[in-house]
Amino acid sequence: LFLEHELRGALQRGEFHLAYQPIFSLATGRICGCEALLRWRHPRLGLIDTQECISVAEDSGQIESIGEWVLNAAIRDAAGWPDSVRLSVNLSLAQFINPALCDTILTSLSEHGLPATRLELELTESIFLRDTTDTEGHLRALRAAGIRIALDDFGTGYSSLAYLRSLPLDRIKIDRAFVQAITTHPETAAIVRAIIAIAKALDMDTCAEGVEGGAQLTVLRAEGCDTVQGFALAEPMAPAALAAFLTGNI
């Protein structure tokens, strides 16, 4: 309740900023994208845990305005990156089901001059708990506009193979819980191998999240994972630091 109160007005007070974490192609070693991550710096409490901030924002009906700010700020920043670097933005369920979402995003893209094909939206499995015809329609509208869709945190939530078959997705992001056990648990390695095989068969690409060591990277490369993200490669960084980092890594 305290955080909910503090969160009101945080946007107007300019307490939010974004950090960007690079995503690397395993084939080339180059950066092919960056994920925007919300950061809230409270004037007295300092940096607030993002997961907590997002939950409070969702529960108190503030996620739509905060989410719109994130989209705008990230699209503005990404318009200054090289063409080969895509922008990934996390979306909450409330944003995804808003019928105005697609138009809002397209307006922002054209205002900042970022092609729709450079934007990827990360959705979690929570969207599949809803009426599927509606979900499918929303996904198709976004993709028809050229926007890519990634399924975030795959394997941890309500994973079902049924929706992988029926829904238009471009990428599966393999949850870091799997990635981090890949070198120590043969069962986990087998599951990751199977996820990559399913993604390939369905013409989706794969991103392994939370890569923290070189041994994980070696296994992921051997298994044919397309892209990787994690502290071993690059931590989330401020926009200016990212711009400098991109110069050396694209």
Binding site for ligand G (CB under 6 A): 21, 37-38, 50-51, 54, 67, 70, 90-92, 152-153, 176, 209-212, 230-231, 236
Instruction: Please choose, from the candidates 98, 26, 23, 37, the residue with its C-alpha nearest in 3D space to the C-alpha of residue 64.
Output: 98
Give the Cα separation of 97 and 132 in Å (integer): 12
Which is closer to Na ion, CB of 68 or CB of 122?
A: 122
Q: Tell me which residues in 124-183 interact with Mn ion (CB under 5 A).
A: 152
Instruction: Choose, by CB under 5 A, the member of 68, 77, 120, 122 that binds Mn ion.
Output: 122
Give the Cα separation of 87 and 33 in Å (integer): 6
Phi, psi of 4 (to 5 degrees): -60, -45
The entry of Na ion, Mn ion, ligand G, none near residue 73 (CB within 5 to 8 angstroms by kind) is none
For 67, how many CA atoms within 13 A lie in the half-sphere containing its CB? Answer: 26
120 binds Mn ion (CB under 5 A): no
Which is closer to ligand G, CB of 52 or CB of 103?
A: 52
153 binds Na ion (CB under 5 A): yes
Give the Cα separation of 12 and 225 in Å (integer): 41
Least distance CB 235 / Na ion (angstroms): 15
First to last CA, the chain: 44
35 binds Na ion (CB under 5 A): no
For 150, how many CA atoms within 13 A lie in the half-sphere containing its CB? Answer: 26
Measure CA 143 to chain center: 16
120 binds Na ion (CB under 5 A): no
6 binds Mn ion (CB under 5 A): no
Tokens 């092609």 belong to residue: 115
Least distance CB 90 / Mn ion (angstroms): 5
CA dist list (Å): 2 to 7, 56, 106: 9, 10, 35
Which is closer to Mn ion, CB of 12 or CB of 51?
A: 51
The entry of Na ion, Mn ion, ligand G, none near residue 133 (CB within 5 to 8 angstroms by kind) is none
The entry of ligand G, Mn ion, Na ion, none near residue 7 (CB within 5 to 8 angstroms by kind) is none
Least distance CB 87 / Na ion (angstroms): 16
Q: Tell me which residues in 69-108 interact with Mn ion (CB under 5 A).
A: 90
Which is closer to ligand G, CB of 205 or CB of 209?
A: 209
Least distance CB 152 / Mn ion (angstroms): 4
At a CB cut-off of 8 Å and minimum separation 6, what does 9 contact? none
Q: Kindly report the number of other CB atoms within 10 A of residue 185's CB atom.
A: 13
Q: Exposed/middle/buried for 157, CB within 10 Å: 0-12, 13-18, 19+?
A: middle
Instruction: Choose, by CB under 5 A, the member of 68, 77, 120, 152 that binds Na ion.
Output: 152
Interface residues toward Mn ion, by CB under 5 A: 90, 122, 152
